[in-house]
Structure 1
C-alpha cells in the first residue's frame, strides 16, 4: 500500500493550525462552490482542522461530507468544530491520501486544498481522487505558489524567509511552487485539458489582516515545523530563524501593508466511464 514519503514541513504547532482554521469555502473554494448540489457526497482530502469541511457540510444539507487527514490529532479539532456548529452530516477519518480507503466512484465531489505541495507523489494522489469520484462529478484542487508571493513594504528579512521556505520545502520532498505546475500534474494524472477548468485566485492581506499574517509568521519562523526542518537539514541556524522572526514582527508594524498569496485552482469534470481515457 502506498505511504506518504514527504515531510509536512509546516507541522502542527498552534500557530499553523490556528491559521488553517480561519479558512472558509468563500476564500478557499469559491471556484467549486457554485457546482455543489444539496445532496452531494463530498470528500475533503487533507482537511486539517476542518473549517472548510464544515462549510461544505452546511452547503449540502441533504448530502454527506467526509474530511480526511493523515494526522489524527488535528481531526479532534475538526470534530469539535462540527459539533459546535451542530452539523450532523460530516465525519472525519485519519487517512493517507496515497491510498484512499474508499471504493471507486464513491463521491460526487473530491477536493483538496494546499495539500499537493507537501506530498511526494501529487500525480498519484490526483489519480486516487479521480478514482473515488463518480462519473459526472468534480475533482477540485487549489495550490499556492510561494515563488509568486508579493509584499510591501520590501524587507530583506522577508526575502530571506522566502529563500528558506523554498529550501526547506524542497528538502522535505514537496514543491513550494505547486500552483504553477498543478495543471501539468492534472494532465499527467489523466485529467483531459478540455474537461479541466484552470483559474487563479489570491488571498490578499492589508491592514489588520496583514498584521495578523506577519505576527503569525513571526511565531512560525521559530516555533513551527518550518523552523525544525531548517535546522535539521542544515539550511539555516537558530540565529537565522530569529532574524527572520524579527523581520516579520518589524514588517507587521509598518503602514500600508500588503501581502498577496496566489493559488492556482483546477476543476475537473469526470466524464462518463465509457469516455474516460485513463
Structure 2
C-alpha cells in the first residue's frame, strides 16, 4: 500500500517501515485543510510532534514550500537521520530539534498547524499532550492527529504466531502506559484537552499491506523487533513471552510474508481541532 521514494543512508532495518510514511499516505485527512490555509497564507508555520526520522515532516515542507516546518522528537539520536532525509530530498524549509510533547519548547500561539502521527496512543496522558499542542497553536490554526487502533487490526491467514504477536504487542503497550485502542479515543481525548465538540472534525482511515514488497518490509520490521531490542527485552523481563513464543512469532511473520493470500490492515482515528 504505502510506497516510499529513494532514501538516503539506509536506516536500521526496524526503522524502514516508518520511513514509508509521508504526508500524502499518513496525513491525507489534513491536506485539503492545509491547502486552503496555504492559499490564504503561503508562509505557514507547521510543527510536527514526534517527527522521528522526518519523512512526514519533509513531505509537509514540500507541500508548504513557502512556509516552514519544525520537527521535534524526544529521542535526540533520531535527529541526524531526519536531517539526512531532508538533505537528500533537497528540502531547506524544515528543521529538527529535541522536544517533549508535554513541554514543547515554543511560546504560546506560535504555529499555524501542529501535527502528530502515531504519538498519542503511546502516552499515559494523551489529552495533556493535545492540550500542549493546542497551547502552541495560533487562534485560527489547527491541531491534527492520527492514531492507530490496534484492536481493529485484521490479518490473514490467522497464523497462531501472528495472533500471539498481536496479543503481545497490545499487552506491551498497556504495560508502558499507552492504549491499544487509541484511534477510537481521539475525540474523547480532544474534548478532555479542552476542545469544544463543534471545533473537532473526526474521521477514520485505513492502512494495509498486501503486495509482496510491502509485506516483506512490514514482516521484516516485526521480525527485527522480535529478535532484538526493547520489545524483546521488555517482554521477556515482564514474563509476557518466552523465547519459544518469540521464535514462533518470527516463523509466523516469515511465513506470512511469502504467502500470496496474506494481507494485514488496521483502522486509524483522525482528528482536526480548529483552534
The TM-score normalised by the length of structure 2 is 0.91
TM-aligned CA deviation for residue 17 of structure 1: 1.9
Q: Show structure 1 runs of 4+ deviating over 3 A.
A: none
Corresponding residue for 1:18?
16
Corresponding residue for 1:251?
256
SS in 1 for 2:28: coil
After superposition, give the CA deviation of every residue in 1:170-211 in whole Å (9 maximum; x if it has no partner): 111111211111111111001111111111111111121123
Corresponding residue for 1:232?
237
In the alignment of these two chains, the number of paired residues is 258
TM-aligned CA deviation for residue 225 of structure 1: 2.3
1:143 and 2:150 aligned: no
**8 A contact 1:98–1:124 mirrored in 2:** yes
**8 A contact 1:16–1:224 mirrored in 2:** no
After the TM superposition, which of the residue ranges 226-235 and 87-96 deviates more from structure 2? 226-235
Distance 1:145 1:16 in 2: 21
**8 A contact 1:108–1:138 mirrored in 2:** yes
SS in 1 for 2:29: coil
1:210 and 2:215 aligned: yes
Corresponding residue for 2:121?
117
Q: Identify the match of residue 28 of structure 2 among 27, 30, 37.
A: 30
TM-aligned CA deviation for residue 165 of structure 1: 0.6
Q: Structure 1: where are the runs of 5+ without partners?
A: 1-12, 271-278
SS in 2 for 1:104: coil
After the TM superposition, which of the residue ranges 140-149 and 83-92 deviates more from structure 2? 83-92
SS in 2 for 1:266: strand
**8 A contact 2:16–2:217 mirrored in 1:** no
Distance 2:17 2:105 in 1: 28
Corresponding residue for 1:164?
168
**8 A contact 2:16–2:221 mirrored in 1:** no
After superposition, give the CA deviation of every residue in 1:135-175 in whole Å (9 maximum; x if it has no partner): 11010000001110001112111110011011111111111
Distance 1:174 1:225 in 2: 15
Q: Aligned ranges for residues 39-188 of structure 1 at < 5 Å?
A: 39-188=43-192
Distance 1:78 1:146 in 2: 26
SS in 1 for 2:96: strand
**8 A contact 1:123–1:188 mirrored in 2:** yes
SS in 1 for 2:102: helix
Q: Structure 2: where are the runs of 5+ without partners?
A: 1-10
TM-aligned CA deviation for residue 16 of structure 1: 3.1
The TM-score normalised by the length of structure 1 is 0.90
After superposition, give the CA deviation of every residue in 1:97-142 in whole Å (9 maximum; x if it has no partner): 1101111100000000000111121110000000000011010000
